[in-house]
Amino acid sequence: MHILFVVLDCIVILLTANIMPLAMILDMPLVSVAAGAAIVIAYLLINVFPGVYRAKSFRLTVLAGGSDLLLAFLITLVFETTAFILWITSGVFGIGALIGIGVLGVIAEAVVFWNGIVRVYMTSVQLGFKIRVLGAVFGMVLPVNIYFLIRIIRVTRREAVFEIYRKNLDESRKEQQICKTKYPLLLVHGVFFRDSNKLNYWGRTPDALIANGAELYYGDQQSALSVEDSAREIAARIEDVIKRTGAEKVNIIAHSKGGLDCRWAITHLGMDKYVASLTTVNTPHHGCLFVEHLFNKLAPAVRDKMAAAYNAALRKIGDTSPDFLSAVGDLRNSRVEEINSVTPDMEGVFYQSCGSVAKKAKSGRFPLNVSYPLVKKYDGPNDGLVAAESMKWGDNFRLVSVKGNRGVTHADMIDLNRENVPGFDVREFYIEVVSDLKNRGF
């Protein structure tokens, strides 16, 4: 169906761009006027309503339509250029007519192009800042502009198709409420971030979970504290959720350092009576050797300066008492093993873990692309920050893997960049995790 509409778009664009020479060749004014009116109306319709047949979502409708228009533009540009050369070499038209034909063709193609590019630039999540900028910078440079146009079409088409599939999937199983667990979910973030409804740490995952029946809340602890201090804030949050919902317990899904914080809260702060399950995601349960190396190697003055800059910045965006050095210090291998020695798992709480590995530095965006080689040197296979071996904890461990040479990074596991990783659907991953918790009676 998609190809059929693109073909129809191409036919309409070509007819519109060549309406003048066709009318002159036909030399049938009445028929030409009627046909011309129909062509112009069809041209306006494909520019106003492209893609409406594919998605209930307004954003996806606009995105799919914009991608279609750009593809139609690319195809018809080749034919239109060939046609104009044909009009020139045929000798049928004078110079005045040729100028008119050329201007009309340029206008017809330009409207389609700018309509499509504005649509995808305004609605695409996957396109990214870099491609947008490079596409604009090289927009008038042949053949580089064609290369970037093809990339833009590929990225936006894949995004539209995948997101429409996801929306239809969630809609089809809405009544099943596969994520409606017995106890509410508490999503706990890692170090150096905060939970936020406006810029959610967990990306598109919360909406997907809610669409499938989940009741969820956020840890909302400060961005950088020691494990013990973060645990105190999380414990208070757990009690708040229990009081607010009337539930007996919560299911916790914690990312990165958040997993250590939650384990401390469960074992040392009495939260075992309120926690049914703890699922940790890419948590350094055995610490990070590369952090140990850097922490010990950096001069104290340098560490203090970095900490002061970070703490000052985070106070401005909501943290009341950020402690950069304590947060980082608690990620050292030696320190985490000390925590493990006094923090046993508690009976009655279901513990499980999952993780991932990146396959090269370029798998992740900054700063993971920089840290990956260093982590690999000291810790081995990793996600850009945490070693795969360090992520294992509890009764079950699942290591996410995908085909190809990209892998799945620390940030991919929480959809931080809102990037669709080939072979890994992060939203479906969490839906499966929560659905399994439901099936286990949690």
> What pLDDT, on the 0 to 100 scale, is given for residue 163?
93
Tell me the domains of the chain and their CATH numbers.
2-169 (no CATH), 176-439 (3.40.50.1820)
Query: What's residue 141's pLDDT?
Result: 85
- Omega before 367 cis (within 30°)? yes
> Would you tell me how many other CB atoms lie within 10 Å of the CB of residue 319?
18
Contacts of 442 (CB under 8 A, 6+ apart): 181, 182, 183, 251, 276, 277, 350
Cα 327-333-339 angle, rounded to 5 deg: 70
d(CA 356, CA 383): 6
| H or E element in which residue 329 lies | helix 324-329
In terms of pTM, does the model score above 0.85? Answer: yes
What is the predicted pLDDT for the residue at 214? Answer: 97
Q: Check: CB of residue 405 under 8 Å from CB of residue 359.
A: yes
Distance CA 276, CA 26 (A): 78
Per-residue pLDDT of the chain (442 residues; tens, 9 = 90+): 567 778 878 788 887 877 777 776 666 665 567 777 888 888 888 888 886 656 678 899 999 999 999 999 999 988 888 888 887 887 777 788 788 778 888 888 899 999 999 999 999 999 988 899 999 988 888 889 999 999 999 999 999 999 999 999 999 999 999 999 999 999 999 999 888 755 679 999 999 999 999 999 999 999 999 999 999 999 999 999 999 999 999 999 999 999 999 999 999 999 999 999 999 999 999 999 888 888 888 888 888 898 899 899 888 878 899 999 999 999 999 999 999 999 999 999 999 999 999 999 988 888 888 899 989 999 999 999 999 999 999 989 999 989 989 999 999 999 998 999 999 999 999 999 999 999 999 9
* Whole-angstrom distance, CA of residue 398 vs CA of residue 426: 14
